[in-house]
Structure 1
């Protein structure tokens, strides 16, 4: 029913238009590259977009990196334009210099409002600023950092390592992407709610909250890939198909979250001091009692913490499996790190591992593109004209593939491009950071990711625990397909065999 409805609507709207305008073809106004997609009146580049819908990130990356100014306008349809850029100067203008002219915008907020409400990732202006201030205070505490260390170490030693050891002993194939997502979901729920869903239990259960959350993410993401937003809005209004499923999933997620909030409120009312350091407890104890506000911000935090770190780790372990010299160097660094060392110490000392994570995310960023909407007319530093209401998207996936930034060997996984020998010579490496506008994997400017340090702590702890004891060996020889929902994933999962190190 859902497929028939959508197909019929598309047919009724687009076929007459394409027949009428098929002979009135026009090229895009930009003349910077022969690769720019052809544009038609009203239809825009709809036909080419549909043709490349299964590899939109790669296709748009190929175009933007082929243009002299690393920027191109895409005419989607019905007069809607979006500008893609991989130009660091444009990114700095967008995310910092002219920050107040570029917001999430109504397109983005409307698409995700049912799921994220007015949470920090789906708000602008004073609503965003207030949440940012509250969250920033809570993230910058030693007690939260210590709590994160404890949660990650517990999940690692009691769940992830035993599951990998069992897979190695029984020589079974496991989906490592699924395992890492479950690991991240348990972690982020403990950090956010103080709640343990036990999603990474040995039986790999279909935990209700986790399944509903995954469904909500998937179906919300599909709204973005709808070439005519009116289609999903009509389906939502009459409550059919994917929109009906999305409504059910979101209801389960938000009702469950509110139930946990009420329980936490009661728990805190009977305590004279704050014993828990999960984010929910911290927010409630600081005087924020509005259930919708707390639900929005905690769900946003779960979304960010669950998908980004698991996506980054999935691609990291795939790259590591194909680069023995990198694996050997990381293993050497891991062996030099005491098993009892704090995550903070690892953060400082595991320089080569840190560089390897950055290099992995350069090639396979967890969030491949991110768009903003212009509140007023503007001109980007490269001369690109932006009209009020137009969307501008910076493209981290493409930015990691710019030859004049990363060199002719940009396609190679080479962690040493982030390193230099420490002063005085010797074997010690020193990390060389890139500015956030050249490498906006964690965003940049006022909206830079608050959980950046926490994400690195978690990833390094997982890498240390896994690499010290196991080798992750992919079953398939071909490169996995990079696909993007709200965050990037491997299409079909990441089937691997686990081998114990001797």
Structure 2
């Protein structure tokens, strides 16, 4: 390569970076004018703020929405990967009902959640989703299944949840209500969907291996989408290290357990 060609290549690279940064700066002008939004930088966006709040992401984004006049914020991540977070009921209705067909999960989400959800109804789009929805809606519309669900939930409620709450009230004990409701929901889902009772909601609040591995797999899978660096999980998965190694182990334990 001649010196002229090298200089031309470098010039094109510099110009490309310049236009990219200019575009990002303009797109973030509204973010900078709003003091309630996290500071956004070229290339990395608001990754610093996202990383700082990674352990309280739901609370943090809820605060951002609450302080936003439109109840909607745009978070820019690494390399201009943007996320729109909204708490506006009209927006939610537009996306989940009125124009649902226009808001697919997309390939990024499907790839990130595939190891955990596979090609199930919660991780597909288009005709495949419609087909599975028709099957599931037909099943859940049958009287026998509705009666079965009612019986399962009523049993879990009367024989497990209420006695635990009553005992805590009588003894003036403190309960982690989120944990209690998670156990209640997990027992119901397993009994209804799999015909298996993990007995997760008992007075001694046992550690159920299946529930533990399920929860870990769910957290790591969702963490792929919430990571500051969107493609980092692929590298970790290829090298079989860190959270990706734990995910594979958790999924393997679930498979063996089933």
The 1:185–1:85 alpha-carbon spacing in structure 2 relative to 1, beyond 3 Å, is: closer
User: Cα deviations across residues 83-129 of structure 1 (Å, max 9, x unaligned)?
Assistant: 23344444344334443332011221111110111111111111111
The 1:91–1:185 alpha-carbon spacing in structure 2 relative to 1, beyond 3 Å, is: closer
2:186–2:200: 8 Å Cα contact kept in structure 1?
Answer: yes
* Cα distance in 2 between the residues matched to 1:187 and 1:101: 33
**What are the within-5 Å matches in structure 2 for residues 305-324 of structure 1?**
none
Q: Which residue is equivalent to 2:74? A: 73
* Cα distance in 2 between the residues matched to 1:239 and 1:186: 32
* Cα distance in 2 between the residues matched to 1:117 and 1:105: 14
**What are the within-5 Å matches in structure 2 for residues 415-434 of structure 1?**
none
Q: Which residue is equivalent to 2:51? A: 50
1:135, distance to aligned residue in structure 2 (A): 0.5
SS of the counterpart of 1:78?
Answer: helix
Q: Which residue is equivalent to 2:138? A: 137
The 1:98–1:238 alpha-carbon spacing in structure 2 relative to 1, beyond 3 Å, is: same
SS of the counterpart of 2:122?
Answer: helix
The 1:254–1:124 alpha-carbon spacing in structure 2 relative to 1, beyond 3 Å, is: farther
The 1:208–1:227 alpha-carbon spacing in structure 2 relative to 1, beyond 3 Å, is: same
Q: TM-score, normalised by structure 1?
A: 0.42
Structure 1: give runs of 5+ residues left out of the alignment: 1-24, 258-502
2:112–2:224: 8 Å Cα contact kept in structure 1?
Answer: yes
1:44, distance to aligned residue in structure 2 (A): 1.4
* Cα distance in 1 between the residues matched to 2:131 and 2:194: 21
1:155–1:183: 8 Å Cα contact kept in structure 2?
Answer: yes
1:209–1:253: 8 Å Cα contact kept in structure 2?
Answer: yes
* Cα distance in 1 between the residues matched to 2:106 and 2:45: 22
* Cα distance in 1 between the residues matched to 2:219 and 2:176: 19
Q: Which residue is equivalent to 2:200? A: 199
Q: Which residue is equivalent to 2:18? A: none
* Cα distance in 2 between the residues matched to 1:186 and 1:163: 15
Q: Which residue is equivalent to 2:111? A: 110
2:78–2:230: 8 Å Cα contact kept in structure 1?
Answer: no
The 1:101–1:180 alpha-carbon spacing in structure 2 relative to 1, beyond 3 Å, is: closer
Q: Which residue is equivalent to 1:247? A: 248
1:64–1:86: 8 Å Cα contact kept in structure 2?
Answer: yes
* Cα distance in 2 between the residues matched to 1:141 and 1:77: 47
2:50–2:57: 8 Å Cα contact kept in structure 1?
Answer: yes
The 1:203–1:70 alpha-carbon spacing in structure 2 relative to 1, beyond 3 Å, is: closer
**What are the within-5 Å matches in structure 2 for residues 261-280 of structure 1?**
none
1:65, distance to aligned residue in structure 2 (A): 4.6
* Cα distance in 2 between the residues matched to 1:85 and 1:162: 38
* Cα distance in 1 between the residues matched to 2:151 and 2:135: 23
* Cα distance in 2 between the residues matched to 1:146 and 1:108: 35
1:71–1:84: 8 Å Cα contact kept in structure 2?
Answer: yes
1:30–1:72: 8 Å Cα contact kept in structure 2?
Answer: no
* Cα distance in 1 between the residues matched to 2:86 and 2:176: 34
**What are the within-5 Å matches in structure 2 for residues 216-231 of structure 1?**
216-231=217-232
The 1:148–1:49 alpha-carbon spacing in structure 2 relative to 1, beyond 3 Å, is: same
The 1:98–1:162 alpha-carbon spacing in structure 2 relative to 1, beyond 3 Å, is: closer
SS of the counterpart of 2:82?
Answer: strand
Whether 2:155 is the aligned partner of 1:157: answer no
**What are the within-5 Å matches in structure 2 for residues 27-46 of structure 1?**
28-30=28-30, 33-46=34-47
The 1:242–1:143 alpha-carbon spacing in structure 2 relative to 1, beyond 3 Å, is: same
* Cα distance in 2 between the residues matched to 1:204 and 1:69: 42
Structure 2: give runs of 5+ residues left out of the alignment: 1-23
* Cα distance in 2 between the residues matched to 1:90 and 1:153: 35
1:187, distance to aligned residue in structure 2 (A): 1.5
SS of the counterpart of 2:164?
Answer: helix
Q: TM-score, normalised by structure 2?
A: 0.77
Higher relative contact order (CA 8 A, sep 6+): 1
Q: Which residue is equivalent to 2:236? A: 235
* Cα distance in 2 between the residues matched to 1:235 and 1:199: 32
Larger relative strand fraction: 1
**What are the within-5 Å matches in structure 2 for residues 274-289 of structure 1?**
none
